[in-house]
Amino acid sequence: MNRDEVLARAQDYIEHESDLFFANEVRNLIQQENWKELEDRFYRDLEFGTGGLRGIIGGGYNRMNTLVVTRATQGLCDYLKEQFPTKPLSAVIAFDSRRKSKEFSLATALVFAANGIKAYLFSSLRPTPELSYAIRKLGADTGVVVTASHNPPQYNGYKAYWNDGSQVVPPHDTGIIDKVLRVKSVRLMTETEARARGLLVSIDKEIDDAYVAMVKSHLFRPNLFSTLGSSVNIVYTPLHGTGAMLFERIMKELGLNVLTVPEQREPNGEFPTVSYPNPEESAALSMAIELGKKTKADVVMATDPDADRLGIAVPDGKGGFVLVTGNQLGSLHLDYIAHSLKELGKMPPHPAAIRSIVTTEFQKAIAEHYGVKSLECLTGFKWIADLMRTFERDGLDFIYGTEESYGHLIETETRDKDGISAAAITAEMTLYWRSKGFSLLDRLEELYREFGYYEEKGLSFFFEGEQGMKIMKDIMNSYRQSRPMHFGGLRVIWSRDIELGTEWDSRGERSCADLPQSDVIQWRLEDGTLLTVRPSGTEPKIKYYILCHENGGDLAANKNITKQKIAQIEADIRAVIAANRA
C-alpha cells in the first residue's frame, strides 16, 4: 500500500470516527509523517477470526476503536434484521476490565437500540461465560462481549454470539462481515433516549443468581463439600479481570476456603503485576503460587481476564507447585466426569465428548475406556458449540468439551468455555480423589500408566504487520508445495490439509470434508505423533502443536523418549521459521 492510499484511508477514518481520542491519534500520526505506523493501522480492516474482532486499541481500521466497534455492530444489526425480518429482536452485551471496554460496550448497546433491537447491558464487568449463559436465559437473538481475553493490555476485542449462546460460525460470521463491509452509516441513539424507550435495560443480580445456581447444579457430589470442603485451601487469582466476584461467591457457598491474591484481585486493564495475563503462562501464576506456598494451599487456580479460561497448579509433594497443562486438566476433567456418571449410574444413553484437533489424544483414549464417543473439531470454542448443536439433532449426549488452551465446558446451558464452572468441578474433583487417598497428580500418573504417556508442546511465532502476514502465508504455501516427508527424523505417514479439504497417506491423495475449511495442515508421523500448524485467527502469529504419545516402557522411560522426540521436531520447525525470517 502506497502513501497516498494510506493517507486516503486515514482521512476517511478521521471523518467518520466520533471519538476524538482516536481521531486525534491518527491526526497526530499524519502530522508526524509516521508512515510506518499509519500503514500498520490502515493496510487492512480487522476481520472476524476464531474469536471475533481483536486488535490493538487505537485509531485506524486495523485497530480497536469506537468506529470499528459501532460499524461491526451496525453490520450485525443489519444481518439480524435480514435473518429475522418479522421478529422483535434483542441482544445481550457484557464487558471485561480492559481499557475502553465499558465505553465500547455502551456504544455497542446504543447501536442496537438505535436499530430497534432491545439491548440488555450488564451494569458492570462480567465473565464471558455469563454472557453466553444470559443469551440463552433471556432468549436473546445475539450477544456481544467486549474483551481481548488473555492478550496484553494494549489489546481489546469484540466477540459476537448467536441466539444459542455460541460465537458465530459460518454462514453467520461471513454474513455479518459482508454486512459490516457494506455499512455506509451507523445508527446511534443517546443513552437517555434508549433507556426511556425501553431499548436499553441494565441486568445484573437476576442473571448472576441464576448462573451461580446452574454451575452448582452440575456438581456430582455436593456432600463432599460439607464433609471435606473446610479442609481444603484454595489460592485464587483473577489476574485483574472479571472472575473474582463469581468465583469467590461460588466457592464460599460451597464451603471452601479461598484466599485471593490481594494484589491481583481488583479489575485493572493495565494488568500491572503481570506482563501477559494468561493462565497458560507460568509467570502469570507466580504470585499465586508464592502465596500458595506460604499458606500451604491444596490447589492454586487462575482465570484469565474474562474468566473463560482456567489454569491450576498443585503441590508437588516437595514444598513447591507444579503447573497442570490445559491438556492435562482437560483429561482429568473428562476422566472424573465419565467416572462419576458411571459410578453414580447417571451415564446418558449416548455420551459424547468434544476436543479440538490440536488437543491431546489422551482424551480419546480416556473417553473410549468409559464408552464415551470422542469427537474432534477445529480450534476455537465456537466449533465445540457448533458440534453441540449437531448433538441435539442427532441424539448424542454432551458430557464435556475442551481445548488445549485452558478452555473447558462442563454444562450445556453455556455455549462457550467457562472458567468458573471448570473451577467448581476442579474443586470437587480435588476433594473426590483426596477422599480416595489420591492427589490430582497421583490420578494423572495412574492414567498415564494405564494409557501410556502423553506429552504436548505448543510453539508460537509472531509476525507483525503486512509483511508478517505475507511471511505466514509463505510458510503455509511452502508446506503445501514441498510436502515435507520427515520431522525430527520421523517419517510422515499421513497428512491432512483442512483448507484444501484433502488428505494423503500411502494409498495416495483423496478429498476429505469432515471439517469446515480452515488454514490448517496436519501430519501424522510413523510413531503416532501428530503435528499441526495454523496461523492464529486472532493474533499475528503462526502456531504449531506437537502431540506425542509413548507406551513402550515404564513411565519414566516414556517421558524421556517423548521429550527427545519433541525436541527434535521442534528443531526442524525452528529451522523453517528462521529461514523465512531471513
- The pLDDT assigned to 1 comes to 81
**pLDDT tens profile 235-255:** 999 999 999 999 999 999 999
Which residues face 459 on adjacent strands? 544
Instruction: Give the rounded percent of residues in the chain with a pLDDT score beyond 90.
Output: 90
Q: Which CATH superfamily is domain 453-581 in?
A: Alpha-D-phosphohexomutase, C-terminal domain (3.30.310.50)
Domain ranges of the chain: 3-203, 205-451, 453-581
What residues contact residue 247 under an 8 Å CB cut-off, 6+ apart? 236, 238, 258, 301, 303, 307, 420, 423
CATH superfamily label, 3-203 = Alpha-D-Glucose-1,6-Bisphosphate, subunit A, domain 3 (3.40.120.10)
Percentage of residues of the chain with pLDDT beyond 70: 99
Look up 331 and say whether it is catalytic: no
Write down the catalytic residue from 149, 166, 421, 495. Answer: 149
β-pair partners for 233:
257
Tell me, what's the pLDDT at 537? 67
**pLDDT tier at 22 (50, 70, 90 boundaries)?**
very high
Residue 422 Cα distances to 109, 330, 444, 514, angstroms: 29, 9, 17, 29
pLDDT tens readout for residues 541-556: 999 999 999 998 899 9
Tell me the one-letter amino acid at 175.
G
pLDDT for position 48? 66
pLDDT, position 181: 85
Residue 489, phi then psi, degrees to nearest 5: 80, 0
Residue 397: strand pairing partners: 351
d(CA 267, CA 96): 8
487-496 residue pLDDT tens: 999 999 999 9
pLDDT band at 51 (very low <50, low <70, confident <90, very high): low
Res. 49: pLDDT tops 90:
no
Going by C-alpha positions, the residue among 462, 470, 521, 460 that lies closest to residue 494 is 521
- Which residue has cell 433516549? 193
| DSSP SS3 for 54 | strand
Contact 134, 128 (CB under 8 A): no
Show the DSSP H helices in 395-506 as ranges: 419-435, 440-451, 465-482
Q: Cβ(161)–Cβ(143) under 8 Å?
A: yes
Nearest partner of 337 among 358, 350, 351, judged by Cα: 351
- The whole-number pLDDT of residue 536 equals 82
pLDDT of res. 180: 87
Q: What is the pLDDT of residues 419-474, one digit of tens each?
A: 999 999 999 999 999 999 999 999 999 999 999 999 999 999 999 887 888 999 99
Residue 563: how many other CB atoms lie within 10 Å: 14
- Give the pLDDT band of residue 328 (cuts 50, 70, 90): very high
Per-residue pLDDT at 552: 82
Q: How far apart are the first and last CA of the chain?
A: 22
CA distance 530 to 486: 12
CATH superfamily of 205-451: Alpha-D-Glucose-1,6-Bisphosphate, subunit A, domain 3 (3.40.120.10)
pTM of the model: 0.94
Phi/psi at 572 (5° precision): -65, -40
Q: Do domains 3-203 and 205-451 have the same CATH topology?
A: yes
Report how far residue 504's alpha carbon sits from residue 576's, in angstroms, rounded to the nearest whole number.
22
The pLDDT tens digits for 78-119 are: 999 999 999 999 999 999 999 999 999 999 999 999 999 999
Q: Which helix (H) or strand (E) holds 308?
A: none
- Torsion angle of alpha carbons 164, 423, 149, 243, nearest 10°? 100
Model pLDDT for residues 335-375, shown as the tens digit of each residue: 999 999 999 999 999 999 999 999 999 999 999 999 999 99
pLDDT band for position 582 (50/70/90)? confident
Cell numbers given for 374: 470422542
